[in-house]
Structure 1
Amino acid sequence: MMKRYISLAAVLLAAFACGDKNEPVDPTPAAPTSLTVSKTSFEIAQAGETVTLDITSPARPVLSGRPDWITYQDGTYKDYKMTVGFKVAANESTMIRTAEMSFMAAGVSPVKVTVTQQGKEAPEPPTPTPGGDNDAWKMAAKLGLGWNMGNHFDGYYNWNCTEEGYPNETIWQPGESEAQRAMHKATQATFTNLKRAGFTSVRIPVSWLKMIGPAPDYKIDETWLNRVYEVVGFAHNAGLNVIVNTHHDENHGVSNTYQWLDIKNAANNAERNTQIKAEIQVVWTQIATKFKDCGDWLILESFNELNDGGWGWSAEFQANPTKQCNILNEWNQVFVDAVRATGGENATRWLGVPTYAANPEFEKYFTMPSDPAGKMMLAVHFYDPSNYTIGDNQWSDWGHTGAAGKKETWGDEDHVQTVFSNLRTKYVDKNVPVYLGEFGCSMRNKNDNRAWRFYLYYLEYVVKAAKTYGMSCFLWDNGAEGYGKEKHGYINHGTGAYLGNSKEAIDVMVKAMTTPDSGYTLQSVYDKAPKF
């Protein structure tokens, strides 16, 4: 029996030994015929998180289409398999963002993986304080929706020619010849039709430049001043409020002498600053005297967008922002003193003064001038986000429903509310009127339904937000018909007729400013944002 048992064990051992030769213990798997992933979509919370993904592929896969808000954590590729990770950063905007990425490998079809992340909840807009006895709310209601006669009296010969430096009413208006441009000269019909379109105010930017004579009299050309006065009268006859300013007299770092409001050199040279302040005093004395008998429908505005050419981002400005801003504060005070000293209606009319570059962000460096009448208004401009409204990108989308890659990465509805809320808290609620002297957006092509709907939404939201936060606003119109960058034409400057498809855009803004329906709120506008 013992011999038989040993023989059976030997047989079994031999059998196992033969099996080891024919069947490997750890066989290499067959290569897959396609690329597969364990999950094709992820829903990520606003705060961000890290997720993993298992991949099977006949060759090492490569990821494409990853946005900068996702960090890719590569894995080890072995036996046709690997595990990778996606670290998704917190979404600081209110929009939902989506990334469509693809894994690719040689010889097989790519596989798409989608990551969708929630955004922050949009802040609730404040409930507007009733007008009551607050002058800020009264002025917002009085001025309402305004229109800029842009590239008109502010236009000038800005190239090397005999007339360089001289303003001209139509030189920047459409037309290849002087005769064609002359058709855009302002008429009574311009403002009569503007009023019919729903506007209640007009801002008439004026450049004075070489229409100002030499020191010490700095006498303004009478023909130019009289023409401005005439057109202001057209607007008043139509029942519109009017704002008049000094516009392209400011020097944005150029080397000519006729753009005399040179804040950079004034900040570095006390003598130059003294000379400029003397000219401000004399120039504004003449303008104010011309208009001293006009009623409270007229507002005088000191300057436009004074800056050194860097718009607040030059190295010199950033090194010491208060240096140039304090110069502007001085100049605003000179303006107020000059206007008040002329008497008549000027003793008590409302006056507007801007922040540096008219940027709301630089309000923190602004000092309101001392005014015996106590009737000062803060002027700011709003073109945020600039790459959508006036910049080169001309994105199709804007706001929380816009798609990543089709819109700017900042400047959504929450940004609008943050900027406007700050202005309301610091000024409107303290009885200081605020107005958006300029806002707007380059016209979009109506045949591009997506771009057109977002464009209308932007205009409606900004105007409704301005009203909600107690501010009036003035649409920039440079007379340029068409669509694309620098195309801000809404109204024919010579006739007051609508340009192109502008009526639809204007009607949306009029609705946003004037609709009394309690159900039509900033939130309701937000809720109806375009969705594609």
Structure 2
Amino acid sequence: MKTALIYSALTVLLTQASFAETSPSEMVRQLGAGINIGNVMSAPQEGNWAKPIEPFYFEDIRAVGFDHVRIPVRWDQHTDQSPPYRIDPDWLLRVKTVIEWAQDEDLKVVLNAHGEHWFIEACGKREEFYCSPENWQRMLAIWAQISAYFSDQPDALLFELINEPYFHLSKKVVDKLNQELLAIVRKHNPTRNVLITGGGANSIHAPMQIDPAFIQSDPHLIAWFHYHWPNTFTKYPETKNSQPTWGTGEDIAFLEDNFLRVKQWADQHQIPIYLGEYGVNNSSDPRSRALYFKKVKETAKSLGFADAIWCAGPKAKKVVYYREKRQWDKNSLDGLFSDSEQ
């Protein structure tokens, strides 16, 4: 009997520890280096653009030194078009299974709403009020279900409310969206860390659009930005007048200055930063690509940002991990990790 009681007490303590509250700053530190598993669960249907995710992905990701994964997920095609906007239970279970495969490898997970073009592109960027009440209620319903379904997950799972809303939605609309989605999330996840950005301006300017009062209203927020500048290098050769090389003193100074601007804003508003995407086309010069990754990583780390490299699968232009072959792009890894980190 005594042994059983001790075992029961230990079980409770371990369970409480796994769900212990982690501050945003500490969580960003723990997130460290990450990778996106892009173009899989964010496709209209998983498997449309790349083979479905398998457990060995996370084994390989952890083995080379990553600390977390960002899993872009599209919910639209798995959600009813009419109220109550029910998400397919099989899709929720599939997402949960993938998350737990990552957790089995001691990887933290960022889960988001990604590729929700039906919502983001329905209205114009100049509009101060969202144009479709039906779409708005559907998005709120999606997050109500995500929030409830994953509420029993440890705090190693983070929610990112919506990917890149700023290309089509104004600052005012995204501020309101952030407020209403967070209120829904907090009903079941009062202390889970949530990643947010602003509307109306992209890249380093996106988080700076967030309403400061909103930041101060909740102690478990992390601001994020994406960095694909200069696109005359990162999107070579598809961007007009682009070039395959990067790495002059001016190039590096431009990157460092941009990141410093984000850091100064973050310090002013007392919110930690997550660099959720950065990447370079594989058609670029390999040495330049490695140097770019190295400088992004060094600069982000020196400023206390967590980061996640964008990797979009074998058919995409930005590939770090060739999933089907279980092989890594060596130049990319050379830039992402020093010998001491691998």
Q: Aligning the two structures, in what range does the TM-score lie when normalised by the shorter sequence?
A: 0.7 to 0.9
Indicate which of 192, 195, 199 corresponds to 1:349: 192
Number of matched pairs: 316
Q: How far, CA to CA, are the matches of 1:361 and 1:372 in structure 2? A: 21
1:217 corresponds to 2:84 = yes
Offset at 1:442?
1.0
Q: State TM-score, norm by structure 1.
A: 0.55
SS in 2 for 1:171: coil
Q: How does 1:308-457 map to 2 (within 5 A)?
A: 308=167, 324-342=170-188, 346-356=189-199, 358-367=202-211, 369=214, 373-391=218-236, 392-393=238-239, 395-400=243-248, 412-428=251-267, 430-444=269-283, 451-457=285-291
Q: Is the 8 A contact 2:35 2:310 kept in 1?
A: yes
Q: How does 1:127-276 map to 2 (within 5 A)?
A: 137-156=25-44, 168-173=45-50, 184-250=51-117, 259-262=118-121, 264-265=123-124, 268=127, 270=129, 272-276=131-135
Q: How far, CA to CA, are the matches of 1:139 and 1:429 in structure 2? A: 19
Q: How far, CA to CA, are the matches of 2:248 and 2:127 in structure 1? A: 44
Q: Is the 8 A contact 1:359 1:380 kept in 2?
A: yes
Q: Deviation digits for residues 168-189 of structure 1, max 9, x if unmatched?
A: 112112xxxxxxxxxx321211
Offset at 1:334?
1.2
Offset at 1:263?
5.8
Q: Which structure is larger by alpha-carbon Rg, 1 or 2?
A: 1
Q: Is the 8 A contact 1:266 1:272 kept in 2?
A: no
Match for residue 5 of structure 2?
none
> Could you say if the C-alpha distance between residues 508 and 364 of structure 1 is closer, same or farther in structure 2, counting changes exceeding 3 Å?
closer
> Could you say if the C-alpha distance between residues 290 and 512 of structure 1 is closer, same or farther in structure 2, counting changes exceeding 3 Å?
farther
Q: Deviation digits for residues 333-382 of structure 1, max 9, x if unmatched?
A: 1111110012xxx1101000123365212444322535765100111100
Q: Is the 8 A contact 2:290 2:335 kept in 1?
A: yes
Q: State TM-score, norm by structure 2.
A: 0.84
Match for residue 509 of structure 1?
336
> Could you say if the C-alpha distance between residues 148 and 283 of structure 1 is closer, same or farther in structure 2, counting changes exceeding 3 Å?
same
1:474 corresponds to 2:308 = yes
Q: How far, CA to CA, are the matches of 1:430 and 1:271 in structure 2? A: 27
Q: Is the 8 A contact 1:264 1:324 kept in 2?
A: no
Q: How far, CA to CA, are the matches of 2:202 and 2:27 in structure 1? A: 19
Q: How does 1:34-183 map to 2 (within 5 A)?
A: 137-156=25-44, 168-173=45-50
Offset at 1:208?
1.2
> Could you say if the C-alpha distance between residues 492 and 397 of structure 1 is closer, same or farther in structure 2, counting changes exceeding 3 Å?
closer
- Give the letter aligned to residue 489 of structure 1: V
> Could you say if the C-alpha distance between residues 308 and 190 of structure 1 is closer, same or farther in structure 2, counting changes exceeding 3 Å?
closer
1:498 corresponds to 2:327 = yes
> Could you say if the C-alpha distance between residues 441 and 287 of structure 1 is closer, same or farther in structure 2, counting changes exceeding 3 Å?
same
Q: How far, CA to CA, are the matches of 2:336 and 2:215 in structure 1? A: 35
Match for residue 18 of structure 2?
none
Q: Is the 8 A contact 1:438 1:475 kept in 2?
A: yes
Offset at 1:279?
2.0
Offset at 1:229?
1.1
Question: Is the helix fraction higher in 1 or 2?
Answer: 2
Q: How far, CA to CA, are the matches of 1:204 and 1:428 in structure 2? A: 28
Return 5+ residue gaps in structure 2 as ranges.
1-21
- Which has the larger displacement, 363-372 or 207-216? 363-372
Q: How does 1:518-529 map to 2 (within 5 A)?
A: none
Q: Is the 8 A contact 1:400 1:412 kept in 2?
A: yes
Offset at 1:291?
0.7
Q: How far, CA to CA, are the matches of 2:175 and 2:102 in structure 1? A: 30
Q: How far, CA to CA, are the matches of 2:112 and 2:25 in structure 1? A: 23
- Give the letter aligned to residue 115 of structure 2: H
Offset at 1:433?
1.4
- Give the letter aligned to residue 172 of structure 1: W
SS in 2 for 1:443: coil
> Could you say if the C-alpha distance between residues 290 and 266 of structure 1 is closer, same or farther in structure 2, counting changes exceeding 3 Å?
farther
- Give the letter aligned to residue 454 of structure 1: S
> Could you say if the C-alpha distance between residues 243 and 498 of structure 1 is closer, same or farther in structure 2, counting changes exceeding 3 Å?
same
Offset at 1:272?
3.1
- Give the letter aligned to residue 67 of structure 2: T
Q: How far, CA to CA, are the matches of 2:130 and 2:226 in structure 1? A: 31
Q: Name which structure has the greater RCO, CA cutoff 8 Å, separation 6+.
A: 2
> Could you say if the C-alpha distance between residues 430 and 361 of structure 1 is closer, same or farther in structure 2, counting changes exceeding 3 Å?
closer
> Could you say if the C-alpha distance between residues 373 and 512 of structure 1 is closer, same or farther in structure 2, counting changes exceeding 3 Å?
farther
